[in-house]
């Protein structure tokens, strides 16, 4: 008989302790430790799949291992395929996190239906909704596939049995926080339940080769609920995000064992489901007000794809002692840094000005190549001189005001040319070794001053 003892586990970071503490030593948060029962010894019930390599696992020479391309299932959503690194890898466990109501179930139901149409059976397990509720959603999305099986179940043992019986090509678990294992006594959604269930699902995925998608809820802070180690256990972690008031949704890879992270897929939420957005630059620039001071466009790389995004700045005199520095969509530490560079190297008196910087369209940009566009936006708003509407700014700004080289300049310029921009202001060091598309002028600059001279001087 398995012996049980209790332990205290942090709900945020997974730190374990023998006694209760007010503050978690792992992540320094208060009041996050909860009591959980731990099973000591072997759990007495197992799912029906036999474990891997009970006997006879042996080290192999790496040269002797047959390399093969992982077989991937491609879905009809090319945006999803790209984020996954080219399709769903057999036997992979993929975690999809996102705010409540952002559209996780919608996305996965759509993907399931698309595979089912391709004669691949899919088992969609919902622990949150009854099969009838899932059917209602399917009706709204126009889904009616013969091979899409829906199950409303929360017991992992039963789920495993059903997976074995249906033997699908893809399993979707919506959501991991509702699933439980009997031998773990804590409530569904607790740290040990989530961890145990995930490791069991991992085992099922690896032994059967069936890819499994799991939905994970996120906490108030935006991390996937349950311990951080959930993210370590799975093969890929995708976040589905977007602003409640916008219809655009962004699927972002934060971890992927079979492809690049930093890829993003853009979708639009419609009544009949999610639709892919294949030309994000056009969408992000759609509502751009041309000829107003403080607005520039940057060509930023999102994974392997360039997107053009508008960066807006508003600089206005500060009425209180401490001027405000606010940034949405970019790292807020870059704003004071770039303002200090402008102040010191260009001589702009920005210290008594409030600064608000915004990336239009709700995207998040986190590469240094957007620095120059931010600096030009700030100067443009401060001097109240609009930039030319067909200019693009690319470049990293160093602390001495120098403009530093960026990656993949050719792709960025091509995207700009495609959308009809006429002039690219980019680092001088980036000018060699590639061909400039026709109809676009590329100007190399060495310093911020040079860039400002070209764009925001009367």
Ligand X SMILES: Nc1ncnc2c1ncn2[C@@H]1O[C@H](COP(=O)(O)OP(=O)(O)OP(=O)(O)O)[C@@H](O)[C@H]1O
Which of the choices ligand X, Mg ion, none does residue 269 contact, using the CB cut-off of 5 to 8 A by kind? ligand X
Closest separation between CB of residue 153 and ligand X, Å?
Answer: 16
Could you give the count of Cα atoms lying within 13 Å of 348 in the half-sphere of its Cβ?
25
**Closest residue to ligand X, based on beta-carbon distance:** 105
For ligand X, which is the closer residue by CB, 105 or 145?
105
Nearer to Mg ion, 105 or 353 (CB): 105
101's contact among Mg ion, ligand X, none, with CB below 5 to 8 A by partner kind, is ligand X
**With CB cut-offs between 5 and 8 Å by kind, which of Mg ion, ligand X, none does residue 271 bind?**
ligand X
Using rule CB under 5 A, residue 105 touches Mg ion: yes
DSSP string, 59-108: ---GGGSPP-PPPEEPPS-HHHHHHTTSSEETT-EEEEEE-TTSSHHHHH
Which CB, 198 or 295, lies closer to ligand X?
A: 198
> What minimum distance in Å lies between the beta carbon of 219 and ligand X?
13
* Other Cβ atoms closer than 10 A to 450: 16
- Compare residues 103 and 323 and give the one whose CB is closer to ligand X: 103
Least Å distance, CB 125 to ligand X, is 13
Q: Which two tokens stand for residue 234?
A: 């799975």
Please state the closest distance from residue 128 (CB atom) to Mg ion, in A: 6
Per-position b or e across 124-153, b if 16+ CB within 10 A of its CB: bbbbebeeeebeebbeebebebebbbbbbb
| Contacted by 386, from ligand X, Mg ion, none: CB < 5 to 8 Å by type | none
Can you say how many angstroms the Cα of residue 440 is from the centroid of all Cα atoms in its chain?
Answer: 32
Q: Distance (Å, rounded) from C-alpha 9 to C-alpha 145?
A: 43
Q: How far is the CB of 216 from ligand X (least distance, A)?
A: 10
Considering only the stretches 97-105, 156-164, 299-307, 347-355, report the one whose residues sit in contact with Mg ion under the rule CB under 5 A. Answer: 97-105
Give the integer Cα–Cα distance in Å for 356 and 314: 5
- 301's tokens: 């790389």
126 touches Mg ion by CB under 5 A: no
Instruction: Kindly provide the b/e burial profile for residues 29-66, where b requires at least 16 CB atoms within 10 angstroms of the residue's own CB.
Output: eeebbbebebbeeeeeeebebeeeeeeeeeeeeeeeee
Q: Report the partner that residue 387 touches, choosing among Mg ion, ligand X, none (CB closer than 5 to 8 A by kind).
A: none
Identify what 100 binds: ligand X, Mg ion, none; CB under 5 to 8 Å per kind.
Answer: ligand X
- Find the part of the chain contacting Mg ion (CB under 5 A) among 99-107, 257-265, 332-340, 436-444: 99-107
CA angle, residues 170, 176, 177, in degrees to nearest 5: 160
Closest CB to ligand X among residues 22, 101: 101
Q: Kindly tell me which of 105 and 198 has the beta carbon lying closer to Mg ion.
A: 105
Q: How far is the CB of 75 from ligand X (least distance, A)?
A: 17
Of 100-108, 225-233, 235-243, 376-384, the segment contacting Mg ion by CB under 5 A is 100-108
The three-class DSSP label of residue 46 is coil
Please give the residue whose beta carbon sits closest to Mg ion in the complex: 105
Q: What does 134 interact with, of Mg ion, ligand X, none (CB < 5 to 8 A by kind)?
A: none
Residue 262: DSSP 8-state: S
> How many CB atoms are closer than 10 A to CB 336?
14
Smallest distance, ligand X to C-beta of residue 271, A: 4
User: Residue 98 binds which one of ligand X, Mg ion, none, with CB within 5 to 8 A depending on kind?
Assistant: ligand X
Contacting residues toward ligand X, per CB under 6 A? 98, 100-106, 128, 140, 269, 271
352 upstream amide cis, omega within 30 of 0: no
264 touches 240 (CB < 8 A): no
Considering the complex, state which of residue 102 and residue 122 has its C-beta at the smaller distance from ligand X. Answer: 102
CA angle 428, 430, 434 (to 5 degrees): 130
Query: Cβ closer to ligand X: 81 or 106?
Result: 106
Q: At what angle do helices 156-166 and 191-208 cross, to 10 degrees?
A: 20
Cβ closer to ligand X: 176 or 440?
A: 176
- Distance, in Å, from the CA atom of 291 to the CA atom of 390, rounded to the nearest integer, reads 10
Classify strands 248-256 and 148-152 as parallel, antiparallel or unpaired.
unpaired
Segment interacting with Mg ion (CB under 5 A) among 74-82, 101-109, 111-119, 149-157: 101-109
Choose the contact partner of 158 out of ligand X, Mg ion, none; CB within 5 to 8 A by kind: none
Report in angstroms how near the CB of residue 192 gets to ligand X at its nearest: 22
Which positions lie near Mg ion, rule CB under 5 A?
105
């Amino acid at each position: 008989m398995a012996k049980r003892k209790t332990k205290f586990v942090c709900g945020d970071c997974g730190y374990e302790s023998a006694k209760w503490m007010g503050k978690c030593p792992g992540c320094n948060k208060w009041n996050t430790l909860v009591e959980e029962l731990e099973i000591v010894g072997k759990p007495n019930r197992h799912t029906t799949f036999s474990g891997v390599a009970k006997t006879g696992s042996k080290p192999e020479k790496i040269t002797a291992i047959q390399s093969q391309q992982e077989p991937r299932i491609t879905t009809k959503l090319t945006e999803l395929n790209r984020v996954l690194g080219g399709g769903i890898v057999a036997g992979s466990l993929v975690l999809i996190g996102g705010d409540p109501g952002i559209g996780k179930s919608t996305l996965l139901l759509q993907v399931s239906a698309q595979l089912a149409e391709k004669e691949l059976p899919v088992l969609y397990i919902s622990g949150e909704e009854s099969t009838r509720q899932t059917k209602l959603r399917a009706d709204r999305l126009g889904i009616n596939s013969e091979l899409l099986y829906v199950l409303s179940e929360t017991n992992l043992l039963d789920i495993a049995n059903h997976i074995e019986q249906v033997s699908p090509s893809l399993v979707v678990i919506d959501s991991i926080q509702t699933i439980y294992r009997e031998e773990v006594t804590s409530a569904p959604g607790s740290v040990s339940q989530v961890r145990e269930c995930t490791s069991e699902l991992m085992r099922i995925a690896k032994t059967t080769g069936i890819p499994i998608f799991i939905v994970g809820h996120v906490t108030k802070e935006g991390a996937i609920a349950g311990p951080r180690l959930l993210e370590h256990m799975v093969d890929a972690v995708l976040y589905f995000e977007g602003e409640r008031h916008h219809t655009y949704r962004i699927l972002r890879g934060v971890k992927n064992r079979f492809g690049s992270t930093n890829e993003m897929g853009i979708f639009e939420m419609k009544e009949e489901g999610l639709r892919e957005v294949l030309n994000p630059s056009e969408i992000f620039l759609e509502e751009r007000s041309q000829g107003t001071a403080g607005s520039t466009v940057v060509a930023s790389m999102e994974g392997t794809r360039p997107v053009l995004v508008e960066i807006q700045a508003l600089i206005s005199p500060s009425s209180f002692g401490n001027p405000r520095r606010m940034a949405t969509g970019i790292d807020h530490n870059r704003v004071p840094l770039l303002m200090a560079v402008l102040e010191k190297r260009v001589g702009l008196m920005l210290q008594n000005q409030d600064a608000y910087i915004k990336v239009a369209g709700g995207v998040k940009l986190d590469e240094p190549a957007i620095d120059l566009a931010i600096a030009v936006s700030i100067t443009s708003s401060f001097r109240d001189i609009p930039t030319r509407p067909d200019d693009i700014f690319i470049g990293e700004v160093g602390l001495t005001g120098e403009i530093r080289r960026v990656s993949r300049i050719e792709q960025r310029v091509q995207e700009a040319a495609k959308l009809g921009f006429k002039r690219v202001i980019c680092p001088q060091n980036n000018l060699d070794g590639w061909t400039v598309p026709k109809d676009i002028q590329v100007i190399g600059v060495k310093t911020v001053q040079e860039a400002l001279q070209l764009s925001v001087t009367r």
